[in-house]
Structures are given as structure tokens and as C-alpha cells.
Amino acid sequence: MSERTEAIEQGQRDHHKPELFETDTLKHNLQTGMTGEQEVLQMLKGKFPDIEDMKITLPRRIEFKVPAEKLIETCNILKNDMDYKGVSFISGVDRRTGFDVTYMLFSLSHSPVLVFTVSLPKDEPSIHTVCGVWRAANWYEREIYDMFGINFENHPDLRRIMLRDDADFFPLRKTYKLNDKPKKWQEECRRVQ
């Protein structure tokens, strides 16, 4: 066994000691007190005075829009100052006039869910990755790249996830119709038959 492997095994043993689970961060997370939407909305307005259209849409949902260049800054503030430790999902939408990327965050101590949207142009949509903030973003962003062709800058592993690596189309774009069959693959099927 190489030295590196021994180090990894030792690291796993030390890193994963069960008593470590009683750390202060965890105890902090164990507080499940409900905070109301209005309180969180006030806190958000204090942190982000530039964002205007922040509103409560449904019970426990707060929605707002973020400009693309301020995405990472916003995410870091939400994670480090406001206890939104996890990303629940990232979703893409083709609006025909452009693309939207929507982030949904959950918190273990506040109950309202934050939903914020970043709008991107129609041609060559590109946005900075948030993998550095939440590791959960990795596969969500790969999926959006696969389905919509939105480029995520500085993503560690931006590959197709559902479709084959040689696919040259983006199926969830509105320009792709349900019965469209890619020409390249049709020829392949014909050869097999």
C-alpha cells in the first residue's frame, strides 16, 4: 500500500470520528426555530439594498432577481452571513427571449425558502459557476448545460450528464421539438438495421 493511500485511510479515520459530530456548528444547526417570512425579508433587504423586487409569493417562499455579475457575491453573503447552507435545486428555463437560471436555497434554521433568478441573454448564455459555494451545484449545473447549453464558467467538470458525449443539440430548448430526431443518430440507427 502506498504512502498516499495510507494517508487517505488515516485521514478518513480521523476526519470521520463519530465524536466530531457533536461540534458547535452542528449544535447551531440543530436549532429548528421557525423564523417568519417577514423577518427574513427585512434581513435580506438590509443585506441587499440594491435589489428592489424582493417579495413573498407563497407562504414560506421569498423570490427576487440577481444580476449575473453579482451572483457569487450574493451567494457568499447568503451562505456565510444568513445561514442558507444548502442549495435545494438549480433549474434552467428557456424564456424564448433569453434564459433564466433559478437557484432555490434552504436553511436548517430559518423556514422560508429563497428563490432567486439570474437572467441571461439568448445568444451564448454564460454564467459563473456556484460550485465553489455549494458543492451540490456540480451536477445541477452539468444538467442545465446538457439540457439548455448554458455555459458555466470555471466549472470543475462540465460534461454531458444525461445525453451521449457526442450529442450536438440541447433538448429542453424551445427550438427543439418533441419529435425531432438528430440526423447523426438517425443515420447510425439505419446502419444498425
Which residue ranges make up the site for other proteins (CB under 8 A)? 1-2, 4-5, 8-9, 11-13, 15-16, 18, 20-21, 25-26, 29-30, 32, 58, 60-61, 85-89, 91-94, 102, 104, 106, 108, 111, 113, 115, 134-136, 138-140, 160-163, 171-172, 178
* Minimal distance, residue 72 CB to other proteins, in Å: 16
User: Between 12 and 193, whose beta carbon lies closer to other proteins?
Assistant: 12
Strands laid side by side in the 55-56 sheet: 55-56, 61-65, 113-120, 99-106, 86-94
Distance CA 157, CA 79 (A): 23
User: Between 46 and 59, whose beta carbon lies closer to other proteins?
Assistant: 59
User: Between 21 and 49, whose beta carbon lies closer to other proteins?
Assistant: 21
* Minimal distance, residue 161 CB to other proteins, in Å: 6
Q: How far is CA 187 from the centre of its chain?
A: 36
Question: Tell me, what amino acid is at 152?
Answer: F
Distance CA 66, CA 117 (A): 6
Establish how many alpha carbons lie within 13 A of residue 42's alpha carbon, considering only the half-sphere containing its beta carbon: 4
User: Between 9 and 69, whose beta carbon lies closer to other proteins?
Assistant: 9
Distance CA 161, CA 159 (A): 6
Q: How far is CA 137 from the centre of its chain?
A: 4
Establish how many alpha carbons lie within 13 A of residue 161's alpha carbon, considering only the half-sphere containing its beta carbon: 14
* Minimal distance, residue 126 CB to other proteins, in Å: 20
* Minimal distance, residue 49 CB to other proteins, in Å: 25
User: Between 102 and 151, whose beta carbon lies closer to other proteins?
Assistant: 102
* Minimal distance, residue 69 CB to other proteins, in Å: 24
